[in-house]
Structure 1
Amino acid sequence: MTELNKKATLGLVELIVVMAALTFLPAWTFDYWQAWILLAVFFACTLSIDLYLVKNDPKLLERRLKAGPGSEREKSQKIIQGMAMVAFVAIFVFSALDHRFGWSSVPPYLSVLGDVLVALGLYFVFLVFKENTFTSAIIEIGDEQRVVTTGPYALVRHPMYIGALVMLIGVPLALGSLWGLLAIIPMILVLVWRLLDEEKFLAQNLAGYSEYQSKVRYHLVPLIW
């Protein structure tokens, strides 16, 4: 196993452990079938993406492993990443507390729908990775980076965030929580802040990005915004 493989595997295992802790501790039970299925779906999808990148685009995988506030170079993005981490934690914790105290009742088919949304969201992220090898986890300009205008980038400027939002919306449903959907609101606000700040950075530092902005009007949702 290469050093990159080890880092990717360790990173994924750590993420799953953190997600499990954020779920089972607030729920205060392991008798939580919705959580077990969600973790299995997330692990399987993310592992599949990692295996593809190891074989087909290891440089992208290496860039994706640099994540979190400490890896960001821009001060604004350090703040945004920190807030995104808090919002991510809140989605799991609030949903697990909902399960524990029975604030809402979600039928099994809605939990399954949530798992489907998680898988679909991650699949869309995977398609973005295939289209754009420069999708770093932090805001930076890579060597030989160019503006990608094909595939989903012909419709919106930040297609990966669409996949991330679909996945995140699926999480509370998968965990059997309706109230947990409220925790998505701060995450949406943080993502909007991040993408606007990212566009400002790219317009200043990436050749051709300003022209791309003039051609593709929509930031996140086609025909809306």
Structure 2
Amino acid sequence: MIARLVVQTVLWLASMGVLLFGAAGTLAWPAAWWYLIELGGLSLWIGVWLAHHDPGLLAERLAPFVQNQQSRWDRLFMMGVALVWCGWLIAMGLDAMRFHWSAPLPVALVSLGSLCVFLCIFMCRFVFRANSYAAPVVKIQASRGHKVIDSGPYARVRHPMYAAALLFFLGTPLLLSSWWGLAFVPVMVIGLGWRAVREERLLAAQLDGYTNYMARVRFRFIPFIW
């Protein structure tokens, strides 16, 4: 399992590097190198932790993003995510390095971006500790005894991992010093919100107790806001 984690992480980082540096037209982009190193190190850290504490969840996290068990709408959503993700990385490379459409961001904002990326992964550890069913795809994991989780961060919001992703969406373009990258963020947040609503409909229909959970925990992403 660890070997598979390492291989998939390396391939994922390599593909991101091709998009970022290819669009930038240069390898002399320290912020992008730091971004990949930070993301890779944090991903391996949380993956190794999962391998020891919840190998079943790690297997789910390493599974393909398009699966037969998914609803058709979620398969289409994940394919759309892949396209937007690639376009996002390319846009930031073109913006920050090749054409310099954006003026360099202050060091404080770049540092804030790095902190946001760290906090996203750090928060995900608490999510994974509370919820062994936090797969990257929307499906009912009947074979693993899927049940409603209402402890830890799930006692505050219904989608704490999506809440963590908001930090990642903000932190990535700040770290890479791209205002064009920030322009993508509202679209990505709307997409994530749409998925959360569709996911809740599926869970309410197919997972015992989820409707009662929704009544107890009112907010999806951010307490007192949404």
Q: TM-score, normalised by structure 1?
A: 0.94
- Which residue among 101, 104, 116 is the counterpart of 1:103? 101
Alignment partner of 1:140 is 2:139: yes
- Correspondence 1:14-163 to 2 at 5 A: 14-70=11-67, 73-99=70-96, 100-105=98-103, 106-142=105-141, 143-163=144-164
Gaps of 5+ in 1: none
2 CA distance for matches of 1:52 and 1:71?
28
2 CA distance for matches of 1:176 and 1:72?
39
2 CA distance for matches of 1:72 and 1:174?
36
My pick for the range that moved more, 151-160 or 135-144, is 135-144
Write the deviation string for residues 115-149 of structure 1: whole angstroms up to 9, x where unpaired.
11101111111110111111011112222121111
Answer yes or no: is the 8 Å Cα contact 1:22–1:93 preserved in 2: yes
Write the deviation string for residues 162-195 of structure 1: whole angstroms up to 9, x where unpaired.
1112112111111111221011222112211211
* Alpha-carbon spacing, 1:161–1:73, altered in 2? closer, same or farther (3 Å): same
Identity level (%): 32
Gaps of 5+ in 2: none
Residue 72 of structure 1 and its aligned partner are, at CA, apart by 5.4
Answer yes or no: is the 8 Å Cα contact 1:90–1:183 preserved in 2: no
Q: TM-score, normalised by structure 2?
A: 0.94
Answer yes or no: is the 8 Å Cα contact 1:91–1:172 preserved in 2: no
